[in-house]
């Protein structure tokens, strides 16, 4: 009798299993879809939180307006000329979007521009020339492929002509302030030649004779009327662009907490009149170390310092409190 109903029993069991399994599968599908929906909503929320407000700059490329007026060393930039306007536009937009490089340039400028300004002022050179080493080296002791060195990118032959000491042990091109003094000698010489500060700035890149030849051949007397190699053609406009950004950072999207700016180092100076055969030991005797000696005296190029008779060197080291902080 039971055997007669077995097929019916098996069919009913199979149907029940299918129904139960279907319900289970439907539950799993619903659970999965719910999780996916939550994940999508979470991602949208994260994107919304990450999205900057309309005035934000990180995710949008903005073409910034040029200033209505621009000048260098008191001499007007002829922005009414389309070609000049486009050249400045290029340099301004490029340096705005070199975000990290320009930020660090601003931070270093806070440390180095004030003492450089004092040197320029002493020689009656316009304040705007403080921006020249910003585009030359980024205020870092770089060495160019041509061998130009330091903040002002001075060649060895030029450095010696300008009164800098350059030997295997000492290279004053690496001294930010002594190299500024040397640069001032060049700038004054160029001004006596051209009588125009914009041409003086251009000559720092092209050279006095190179710029003079270009003026003579093209029969003009103005930097903005000259056809020049690209590097020199861009040079002065790059200075003007950096000046505009440094003086108006917020206008171009730069916000720097004042506490993030690099401050001048608190230093003490030791006068050295005798040869130091081992600068590592000298630094240790002064309660410092060789790394800090090199940081504050990059003009020392060897591990010893030979001092000729009658010669005195001033070596900078951190004050004791400052030294404890640096450690």
pLDDT for 48 equals 52
Q: State pLDDT tens for residues 248-295.
A: 999 999 999 999 999 999 999 999 999 999 999 999 999 999 999 999
Domain spans, the chain: 1-51, 71-260, 267-326
pLDDT for 82 equals 97
pLDDT for 62 equals 85
Read off the pTM.
0.79
Q: State pLDDT tens for residues 301-322.
A: 999 999 999 999 999 999 976 4
pLDDT for 31 equals 54
pLDDT for 2 equals 45
Rounded-to-integer distance, Cα 55 and Cα 57, Å: 7
Rounded-to-integer distance, Cα 132 and Cα 120, Å: 12
As a whole number of Å, the end-to-end CA separation of the chain is: 97
DSSP state of 199: H
Which residues in the chain land under pLDDT 70? Answer: 1-59, 321-327
Fold of 71-260: Lysozyme (1.10.530)
pLDDT for 284 equals 97
Rounded-to-integer distance, Cα 323 and Cα 254, Å: 32
pLDDT for 291 equals 97
pLDDT for 29 equals 42
Tokens of 10: 């098996």
Tokens of 292: 């800090």
Instruction: Detail the DSSP E strand segments found in 190-295.
Output: 267-272
The rounded Cα 162 to chain-centroid distance in angstroms is 27
Judge contact between 326 and 263, C-beta under 8 A. no
pLDDT for 50 equals 44
pLDDT for 320 equals 74
């Amino acid at each position: 009798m039971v055997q007669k109903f077995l097929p019916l029993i098996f069919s009913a069991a199979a149907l029940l299993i299918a129904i139960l399994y279907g319900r289970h599968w439907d539950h799993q599908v619903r659970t999965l879809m719910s999780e996916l929906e939550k994940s999508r909503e979470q991602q949208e929320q994260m994107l919304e939180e990450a999205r900057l407000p309309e005035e934000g700059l990180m995710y949008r490329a903005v073409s910034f307006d040029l200033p209505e007026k621009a000048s260098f060393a008191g001499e007007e930039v002829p922005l009414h000329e389309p070609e000049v306007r486009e050249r400045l536009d290029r340099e301004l937009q490029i340096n705005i979007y070199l975000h990290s490089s320009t930020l660090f340039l601003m931070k270093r400028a806070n440390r180095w521009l004030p003492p450089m300004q004092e040197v320029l002022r002493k020689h009656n050179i316009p304040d705007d020339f403080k921006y020249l080493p910003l585009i030359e080296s980024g205020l870092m002791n770089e060495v160019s492929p041509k061998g130009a060195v330091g903040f002002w990118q001075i060649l060895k032959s030029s450095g010696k002509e300008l009164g800098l000491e350059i030997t295997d042990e000492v290279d004053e091109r690496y001294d930010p302030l002594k190299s500024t003094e040397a640069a001032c000698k060049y700038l004054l010489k160029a001004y006596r030649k051209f009588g125009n500060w914009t041409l003086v700035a251009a000559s720092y890149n092209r050279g006095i004779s190179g710029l003079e030849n270009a003026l003579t051949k093209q029969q003009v007397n103005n930097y903005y009327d000259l056809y020049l190699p690209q590097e020199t053609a861009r040079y002065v406009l790059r200075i003007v662009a950096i000046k505009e950004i440094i003086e108006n950072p917020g206008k171009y999207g730069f916000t720097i907490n004042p506490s993030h700016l690099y401050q001048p180092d608190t230093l003490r100076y030791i006068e050295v009149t005798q040869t130091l055969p081992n600068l590592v030991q000298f630094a240790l005797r002064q309660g410092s170390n060789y790394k800090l000696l090199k940081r504050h005296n990059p003009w020392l190029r060897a591990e010893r310092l030979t001092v000729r008779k009658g010669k005195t060197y001033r070596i900078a080291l951190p004050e004791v409190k400052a030294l404890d902080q640096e450690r």
